[in-house]
A and B are shown apart, each in its own frame.
Chain A
Amino acid sequence: MRFGVIGGGPAGLYFSILMKQADPSHEITVVEQNPAGATYGWGVVFSVDTLSELRDADYGTWLEIDDHIVRWDALDIRYRDRDIRAYGHGFSAISRKVLLQLLQQRAADLGVELRFEEEVDGPDAFPDAEVIVAADGVHSKVRTALEEELGTETLEHPTRFVWFGADLAFDAFTFIFRETDHGLFTVHSYPFDESTSTFIVEVTEDTWRNAGLDQMTEDESLAFCQDLFADHLGGADLLSNKSIWRQFTTVRNRHWHHGNVVLVGDAVATAHFTIGSGTKLAMEDAVALSKAFVAHGDDLSAVFSEYESERQIPTERFQQAAIDSADYFANVSRYVGFAPEPFTMNLLTRSGRITHADVEARDPTIANRVDRWFHEDAVGADPSDRVVVPRPSAVPLQLAEGLELPNRVVATQAPRDDSSDGVVGEGTRAALVGAAGLGAGLVVTEPVAVSAHGRITLGSPGLYEEEHVATWRKVVDELHDAGTRVALRLSHSGRRGSMRPREGGLDRPLRGADRWTTLAPSPIPYTSTTPAPAAVDAQRFGDVRDDFAAAARAARDAGFDLLLLDWSDGYLLASFLSPLTNQRDDEFGGDLDGRMRWPLQVLDTVKGEWGGALGVRLVMDDRVRGGLSPDDGVEIARRLGERGVGVIDAVAGHTVPRGGGEYRRLYRVPLADRARNEAGVRSIASGAITTLDQIDTVVSAGRADLCLLDPSRYQQPRIR
């Protein structure tokens, strides 16, 4: 077959090599716009797994790569005056220039035609080729010409980075964090031969401008960085090779081929450099595509669909991990105040691919040091040489004066709508006891209403009659006996009240005599089938606040340990926060100050009556355009912290009935992270957290203090 390969980078060259290896009768031409031997950038990284894949794909190329590779196992983290070394990160790197030279040589030896300094705009350059392989990089012209057909998406990452070399060989993958008056500078550095390292400097857009780097020439910015990191460079020089400041572009394509054109490498998908995988992905694309050709010959549709189905899902996972990692570095200034131990765990687990358990497997010393620090910090013990300490999820938390949670795991129970007249139902009681039986340190109730009209359904529990207090008291005692602490989620349903049981779906309005007129800041119905609520008036502001006050007193009598005031899920207090639902023009609407005014009055009242540990279950993101954004959520959390709120249960959505979430593993942890590390309030993370290892990771990395566990994965009958 005749192949036209556009782009002579690792993907294009390696593909050509593999195809020639498989069948020397293929006619393959590679065109490259740069001269032979020219390259930009310095070293590239391979993991141990990638190398063994390269060995399987073509032993000859691997031998040559292996000859030039630098290997290391350690990872250094330098921030403030600390220098931390973690082991077990088997990586290797090679000079990009050497890699290209040896791939070019091998391709030429195998009879691939290489044409340099030739610019090609599109597939038309190879009129007689049966297959066009677009390997022309992140700014692929071939892709751009076909972006409609391919479903191309590109996303600019907000930070700025510059790719220098340094004429010294670090002996580990080295991260340097340097705080300056302009902001935080981050370095990602690794050796790629005996004497040279890649030295990438990354900053936020603000820092970049503050430091004046946007105005500097290439030489000036090199001098600036040289000077800034002089102590780490130890007299060595930074080296430039078209080293200009850039923004990283993430490229995605819905389809990886069109007609006889197929894309590989950065042309089809890029992964942010902070997980060091661009070249790895490119070469794996080449391997998969050549294998598909070997299997299906000239049946292009079979070849391309096999290639795409082989590569697309793993690549997307990598891209997601890369974005999570990149987000970490974009926001790392949040964490520079951490002690070295959680700082390290946070950095190592940033992409979501490595958990606490993985760190322990790679480097037990570091993991144990983190665990020991975490335990000592939590229980107030002096530093010791203990090795045997509880895993982070099992470490107690002093949440408030006199309130110690036995561990970091939170459990809850789904509503059952089996309460009657607000008296908590037997099924609900049993479910709460079941949740406590998991061993969680804290059990949180479903929304408990401050009044009959604050209920969601007729089967919702309440805390507004004498009998409710007595019944809750019994339940709370039972939960205490099971060894857990108990949080009351105190709520008023607002416009999501007067609904039918939720077994048949949410927000289906009651009919008949039982229904009531619901309350909201503005008379906007929740769905197309729910009646309009009444706007809260002066009388109701007082009445409802009194209901909250009475319920807070009742909560004390019932023996709850923590009161979580419900500012979430589109219920009454939450609906004041969002501009989507609060369109009042009085002092309780308008800007965030206005929208928070009444919920804060309620909070202050509850705080006074309750007197114990107080938290808020807070909607930090409406997930709908025009609604609360995570930035708004952080600001609200910050103000709550100033008001004496001790813990934020960080949640999202349901202010309005649209706005789905990501729902992937740990999807709401970033909100808890921001509440804790930007707003400065302890936080509860939730969102598809299904293992204790995930909780160990989240809490020991300092992203949250507590985690809501979905225990379903532990409840499958595997042992007979």
Chain B
Amino acid sequence: MEVRDEEPLVQIGVGLPSTVPGVDPGAIVEWAAAAEAAGCFSSIGVLDRMVYDSYDPIVSLSSAAGVTDDLRLVSMIVASPLRSTGVLAKEAASLHALSGGRLTLGVALGAREEDYEVADSDWSRRGRILTEQLETLRNVWEDAGIAPSAMRGTPDLLVGGLSGNAYLRVARYADGYVHNGGPARAFASAARKAHAAWQEAGRPGEPQLWGQNYIGLGDPEAGREYLLDYYAFTGPFAERIAQGLLDSPMAVKDIVRGYEDEGCDELILFPTTPDLDELHRLAEIVS
């Protein structure tokens, strides 16, 4: 029997507070620099929200790119049908080149019709748009002459979602799957489906599996209030998301272990406050 020396461990990334209302612009850059300095994170992640007091995900990652050298820069996810494919491709290629090849572009439908209205995109066609974007993105990077010549390789693509069509998109177009959060068993169920879709489609290799969760270590109550507000559009689900907040070192360690057991490659922990102390609390737990 072949026995490997070391079990593969889940990598831990940390989210930027770019979608926490009222965050000071300087705090985002500071957070990114501190995340790299902490030495225990592999990546920084961002969320995407149009109609909300928040920063654009690609712009946020770009500013983070300027103050970091090693961290992967990952969108968890960008609601790509809100953007034209060409412009998104150009922005992503630019960021990938500027950051020395550190971008992982996660895309999905997003869940807010009002975001589509403001972005002047067609909510009723969102699935088809996303599929067409995925059919095109990598070809555009490789062929269309829009990427800066300094770009080495193309950004890794992740796809999120929980439908059969989402898993099919992962298998057909992406390098991996990005889950929307929650307990390890929810991640496991989705990850197994992504794996099955990948095998069915006859893709070489294995999909990368990315997960996410929220932390609220210093002031859990404030964290939950933020989540209730951020997810108010989901109706009653907001309460469930808020209940899932990781509010203690034990809760964080449990979720890391749970995700690791289920084969997660990288788990991004998103803050619910821009307070830098929160980053240090997390670093202490995961390092």
Q: A residues bordering B, Cβ < 8 Å?
A: 255, 257-258, 301-302, 304-306, 308-309, 313, 414-417, 446, 502-508, 511, 527-529, 569, 623, 651, 653-654, 657-665, 667, 687-688, 710, 712, 717, 719-720
Stretch at the interface among B27-35, B135-143, B250-258, B270-278: B135-143
Whether B192 sits at the interface, judged by CB under 8 Å, is yes
The reply to whether A415 and B243 form a contact with Cβ atoms under 8 Å apart is: no
Q: What residues of chain B lie closer than 8 Å to A417, measured between beta carbons?
A: 204
Given A302-B243, A414-B205, A720-B3: A661 touches B200 (CB 8 Å cut-off): yes
Q: How far is the CB of A670 from chain B (nearest CB, A)?
A: 15
Q: Output the nearest chain A residue to B197 by Cβ-Cβ distance.
A: A663
Complex Cα gap A653–B198 (Å): 13
Chain A contact residues: over half helix, strand or loop, or mixed? loop
CB pairs A–B below 8 angstroms (16 shown):
A255-B235, A302-B239, A446-B202, A505-B157, A505-B173, A506-B172, A529-B136, A653-B168, A659-B168, A660-B164, A660-B166, A661-B164, A663-B194, A663-B200, A688-B196, A717-B4
Whether B131 sits at the interface, judged by CB under 8 Å, is yes
Q: B residues bordering A, Cβ < 8 Å?
A: 1-4, 7, 131-132, 134-136, 138-139, 143, 154, 157, 163-169, 171-174, 185-186, 192-197, 199-205, 235-236, 239-240, 243
Q: How far is the CB of A146 from chain B (nearest CB, A)?
A: 12
Complex Cα gap A70–B72 (Å): 62
Complex Cα gap A527–B136 (Å): 10
The reply to whether B199 and A529 form a contact with Cβ atoms under 8 Å apart is: no
Q: What residues of chain A lie closer than 8 Å to B243, measured between beta carbons?
A: 302, 305-306, 309
The reply to whether B168 and A414 form a contact with Cβ atoms under 8 Å apart is: no
Complex Cα gap A500–B143 (Å): 13
The reply to whether A710 and B199 form a contact with Cβ atoms under 8 Å apart is: yes
Q: What residues of chain B lie closer than 8 Å to A511, measured between beta carbons?
A: 143
- Return the contact of B165 from the options A414, A508, A658 (Cβ within 8 A): A658
The reply to whether B202 and A569 form a contact with Cβ atoms under 8 Å apart is: yes
Q: What residues of chain A lie closer than 8 Å to B135, measured between beta carbons?
A: 507, 527-529, 657
Complex Cα gap A302–B204 (Å): 45
Complex Cα gap A302–B1 (Å): 50
Complex Cα gap A527–B186 (Å): 32
Known: A255-B235, A302-B243, A507-B172; 12 extra A-B contacts, CB below 8 A, are A305-B239, A309-B243, A313-B186, A415-B204, A505-B174, A529-B136, A623-B164, A657-B135, A658-B168, A660-B163, A660-B166, A661-B196
Complex Cα gap A503–B154 (Å): 12
Complex Cα gap A687–B201 (Å): 11
- Return the contact of B240 from the options A258, A308, A416, A504 (Cβ within 8 A): A308
Q: How far is the CB of B204 from chain A (nearest CB, A)?
A: 5
Q: What residues of chain A lie closer than 8 Å to B3, measured between beta carbons?
A: 717, 719-720
Complex Cα gap A45–B195 (Å): 38
Given A504-B138, A719-B3: A663 touches B164 (CB 8 Å cut-off): yes
Count how many pairs of residues, one from A and one from B, have CB atoms less than 8 Å apart in the complex: 122
The reply to whether B240 and A502 form a contact with Cβ atoms under 8 Å apart is: no
- Return the contact of B204 from the options A257, A502, A527, A658 (Cβ within 8 A): A502
The reply to whether A660 and B167 form a contact with Cβ atoms under 8 Å apart is: yes
Q: What residues of chain B lie closer than 8 Å to A688, measured between beta carbons?
A: 192-193, 195-196
Complex Cα gap A504–B174 (Å): 7
Q: What residues of chain A lie closer than 8 Å to B7, measured between beta carbons?
A: 717
Which 5 pairs across A and B sit closest by C-beta, in order of nearness?
A660-B164, A305-B239, A660-B168, A663-B193, A688-B196
Complex Cα gap A662–B169 (Å): 13
Q: How far is the CB of B120 from chain A (nearest CB, A)?
A: 21
Q: Output the nearest chain A residue to B174 by Cβ-Cβ distance.
A: A505
Q: How far is the CB of B47 from chain A (nearest CB, A)?
A: 21
The reply to whether A663 and B196 form a contact with Cβ atoms under 8 Å apart is: yes
- Return the contact of B164 from the options A309, A527, A662 (Cβ within 8 A): A662
Complex Cα gap A609–B156 (Å): 46
Complex Cα gap A504–B156 (Å): 9
Q: What residues of chain A lie closer than 8 Å to B171, measured between beta carbons?
A: 506
Q: How far is the CB of A224 from chain B (nearest CB, A)?
A: 43
Q: Output the nearest chain B residue to A431 by Cβ-Cβ distance.
A: B204
Given A308-B240, A529-B139: A667 touches B196 (CB 8 Å cut-off): yes
Q: What residues of chain B lie closer than 8 Å to A529, measured between beta carbons?
A: 135-136, 139
Chain B contact residues: over half helix, strand or loop, or mixed? helix
The reply to whether A719 and B1 form a contact with Cβ atoms under 8 Å apart is: yes
Q: What residues of chain A lie closer than 8 Å to B185, measured between beta carbons?
A: 313
Q: How far is the CB of A321 from chain B (nearest CB, A)?
A: 15
Q: What residues of chain B lie closer than 8 Å to A504, measured between beta carbons?
A: 138, 154
Q: How far is the CB of B33 from chain A (nearest CB, A)?
A: 33
The reply to whether B139 and A508 form a contact with Cβ atoms under 8 Å apart is: yes
The reply to whether B168 and A305 form a contact with Cβ atoms under 8 Å apart is: no
The reply to whether A687 and B203 form a contact with Cβ atoms under 8 Å apart is: no
- Return the contact of B173 from the options A503, A506, A569, A653 (Cβ within 8 A): A506
The reply to whether A415 and B202 form a contact with Cβ atoms under 8 Å apart is: yes
Complex Cα gap A658–B7 (Å): 36
Q: What residues of chain B lie closer than 8 Å to A623, measured between beta carbons?
A: 164
Q: What residues of chain A lie closer than 8 Å to B192, measured between beta carbons?
A: 663, 665, 688
Q: How far is the CB of B267 from chain A (nearest CB, A)?
A: 18
Q: How far is the CB of B234 from chain A (nearest CB, A)?
A: 10
The reply to whether A660 and B204 form a contact with Cβ atoms under 8 Å apart is: no
Complex Cα gap A313–B190 (Å): 13
Q: What residues of chain B lie closer than 8 Å to A687, measured between beta carbons?
A: 196, 200
Complex Cα gap A504–B164 (Å): 21
Q: What residues of chain B lie closer than 8 Å to A313, measured between beta carbons?
A: 185-186
Q: What residues of chain A lie closer than 8 Å to B195, measured between beta carbons?
A: 688, 710, 712
Q: What residues of chain B lie closer than 8 Å to A661, measured between beta carbons?
A: 164, 167-168, 196-197, 200
B3, B134, B185, B196 — most chain A CB neighbours (10 Å): B196
Q: How far is the CB of A303 from chain B (nearest CB, A)?
A: 10
Q: Output the nearest chain A residue to B195 by Cβ-Cβ distance.
A: A712
Q: What residues of chain A lie closer than 8 Å to B1, measured between beta carbons?
A: 719
Q: What residues of chain B lie closer than 8 Å to A662, measured between beta carbons?
A: 164
The reply to whether B240 and A305 form a contact with Cβ atoms under 8 Å apart is: yes
The reply to whether A505 and B197 form a contact with Cβ atoms under 8 Å apart is: no
Q: How far is the CB of A110 from chain B (nearest CB, A)?
A: 30
Complex Cα gap A309–B244 (Å): 10
Q: How far is the CB of B145 from chain A (nearest CB, A)?
A: 12
The reply to whether B202 and A502 form a contact with Cβ atoms under 8 Å apart is: yes
The reply to whether B132 and A528 form a contact with Cβ atoms under 8 Å apart is: yes
A446, A569, A660, A710 — most chain B CB neighbours (10 Å): A660
Q: What residues of chain A lie closer than 8 Å to B172, measured between beta carbons?
A: 505-507, 657
Q: What residues of chain B lie closer than 8 Å to A305, measured between beta carbons?
A: 236, 239-240, 243
The reply to whether B203 and A502 form a contact with Cβ atoms under 8 Å apart is: yes
Q: How far is the CB of B260 from chain A (nearest CB, A)?
A: 12
The reply to whether B203 and A506 form a contact with Cβ atoms under 8 Å apart is: yes
B139, B200, B240, B243 — most chain A CB neighbours (10 Å): B200
Q: What residues of chain A lie closer than 8 Å to B139, measured between beta carbons?
A: 508, 529
Q: What residues of chain A lie closer than 8 Å to B168, measured between beta carbons?
A: 653, 658-661
Complex Cα gap A313–B197 (Å): 22
Q: What residues of chain A lie closer than 8 Å to B202, measured between beta carbons?
A: 414-415, 446, 502, 506, 569
Q: What residues of chain A lie closer than 8 Å to B236, measured between beta carbons?
A: 255, 257-258, 301, 304-305, 308
Q: How far is the CB of B222 from chain A (nearest CB, A)?
A: 17
Q: What residues of chain A lie closer than 8 Å to B138, measured between beta carbons?
A: 504-505, 508
Complex Cα gap A507–B200 (Å): 15
Complex Cα gap A508–B134 (Å): 11
Q: How far is the CB of A458 from chain B (nearest CB, A)?
A: 14
Complex Cα gap A305–B245 (Å): 14
